[in-house]
């Protein structure tokens, strides 16, 4: 692995020497320059491009905290490890506000110093890798499509009405084409009636496709009303038993893939099919 490039800033030469000695005990760390005050360190990092600055808090002129703030704002890829002679909480707070990644108190053990430098460098490298991997431009949060199942054990309370209304409202709000209803009240589903559909093909006919069932087939069975894609329930009671929980699982997977929101209407009892929908839902 590439050695960690460190610039060391301290106004006291003896301390610089002793810290350099500690850092050089570690084969992974390379001290590429020393600086004697804040101004000096800002000059050095311009040309040296270190990953880490090990910096004393108290230095004449531009002190360690000011220099850290400048580095944080202007060289976001360079991380600062602060070193202080005492545990003054005010200095600690100021250093953290300025963007220091770690704050060590003298006297330093080699183990403590070098582990800290390596840990901070690792963080810096991860960050750099991530920034390079991400294309520039505004970040769009990843949206996950959702299945929303309307369920209740009471009959006739308005489940289907809610399902239809919410879906249509969502489609009106500019999400047309991204909203679906799957009517899983197989025996007595009334979404078709509510949405003015007289379906020739329903979920039962789709089930007859068995293992051939795929996205393309599914799309051919959808009815579009008011911007909502609808998968109607059976209109012939004798075909109801063709609908299996395995098939419903597949349908909901495909439907979720295609739509931002899939609303599922259910009967007032729990069977395998309802259970499948409930298990696959993000919202019930």
The residues that touch ligand ATP, with contacts defined as CB under 6 A, are 155-161, 185, 190, 268
**Minimum CB distance to ligand ATP, residue 165 (Å):** 8
Contact 199, 223 (CB under 8 A): yes
What values do phi and psi take at 142, rounded to 5?
-65, 125
How big is the chain by its Cα radius of gyration, in Å? 32
- Output the six-digit token pair for 144: 């996950």
Choose one: 76-84, 154-162, 164-172, 209-217; the region binding Mg ion (CB under 5 A). 154-162
Q: Cα–Cα distance between 253 and 281 in angstroms, integer?
A: 10
> Which residue has the closest beta carbon to ligand ATP?
158
Judged by DSSP in three states, 82 sits in: strand
Find which of Mg ion, ligand ATP, none residue 137 binds, CB within 5 to 8 Å per kind.
none
**Minimum CB distance to ligand ATP, residue 274 (Å):** 12
Find which of Mg ion, ligand ATP, none residue 256 binds, CB within 5 to 8 Å per kind.
none
Between the CA of residue 130 and those of 91, 124, 201, what are the distances in Å?
31, 10, 49
Contact 38, 98 (CB under 8 A): no
> Which residue has the closest beta carbon to Mg ion?
160
**Minimum CB distance to Mg ion, residue 182 (Å):** 13
Closest among 208, 45, 26 to 110, alpha carbons compared: 26
Which is closer to Mg ion, CB of 163 or CB of 251?
A: 163
Confirm or reject binding of residue 234 to Mg ion (CB under 5 A).
no
Closest among 108, 124, 127 to 26, alpha carbons compared: 108
Find which of Mg ion, ligand ATP, none residue 123 binds, CB within 5 to 8 Å per kind.
none
Packed helices 89-98 and 64-74: angle between N→C axes, nearest 10 degrees: 20
Using CB under 5 A, which of 68, 91, 149, 160 touches Mg ion?
160
Which is closer to Mg ion, CB of 91 or CB of 149?
A: 149
Confirm or reject binding of residue 192 to Mg ion (CB under 5 A).
no
Name residues whose C-beta falls within 8 Å of residue 202's C-beta, 6 or more positions apart in sequence: 221, 232, 233, 234, 235, 236, 239
**Minimum CB distance to ligand ATP, residue 268 (Å):** 4
Find which of ligand ATP, Mg ion, none residue 158 binds, CB within 5 to 8 Å per kind.
ligand ATP
Which is closer to Mg ion, CB of 61 or CB of 155?
A: 155
Confirm or reject binding of residue 274 to Mg ion (CB under 5 A).
no
Choose one: 68-76, 91-99, 157-165, 221-229; the region binding Mg ion (CB under 5 A). 157-165
Find which of ligand ATP, Mg ion, none residue 161 binds, CB within 5 to 8 Å per kind.
ligand ATP
User: For residue 181, what are the β-bridge partners?
Assistant: 230, 263
Judged by DSSP in three states, 104 sits in: strand
Binding site for Mg ion (CB under 5 A): 159-160
């Amino acid at each position: 692995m590439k050695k960690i490039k460190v610039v060391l800033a301290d106004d006291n030469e003896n301390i610089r020497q002793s810290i350099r000695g500690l850092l050089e005990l570690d084969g992974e760390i390379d001290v590429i320059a020393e600086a004697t005050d804040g101004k000096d360190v800002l000059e050095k990092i311009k040309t040296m491009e270190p990953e880490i600055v090990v910096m004393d808090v108290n230095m004449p002129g531009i002190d360690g905290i000011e220099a850290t703030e400048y580095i944080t704002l202007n060289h976001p890829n360079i991380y600062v490890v602060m070193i202080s002679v005492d545990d003054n909480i005010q200095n600690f707070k100021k250093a953290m506000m300025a963007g220091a990644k770690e704050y060590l108190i003298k006297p330093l053990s080699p183990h403590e110093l070098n582990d800290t430098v390596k840990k901070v460098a690792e963080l810096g490298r991860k960050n750099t890798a991530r920034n390079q991997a991400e294309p520039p431009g505004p970040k769009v949060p990843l949206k996950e499509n959702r299945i929303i199942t309307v369920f209740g054990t009471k009959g006739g309370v308005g489940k289907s009405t809610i399902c239809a209304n919410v879906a249509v409202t969502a489609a009106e709000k500019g999400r047309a084409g991204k909203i679906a209803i799957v009517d899983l009240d197989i025996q007595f589903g009334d979404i078709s009636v509510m949405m003015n559909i007289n379906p020739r093909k329903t979920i039962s006919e789709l089930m007859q496709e068995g293992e051939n069932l795929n996205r393309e087939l599914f799309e051919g069975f959808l009815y579009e009303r008011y911007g909502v894609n609808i998968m109607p329930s059976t209109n012939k009671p004798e075909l109801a038993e063709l609908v299996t929980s395995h098939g419903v699982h597949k349908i909901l997977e495909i439907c979720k893939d295609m739509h931002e929101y899939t609303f599922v209407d259910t009967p007032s009892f729990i069977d395998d099919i309802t259970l499948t929908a409930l298990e696959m839902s993000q919202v019930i």
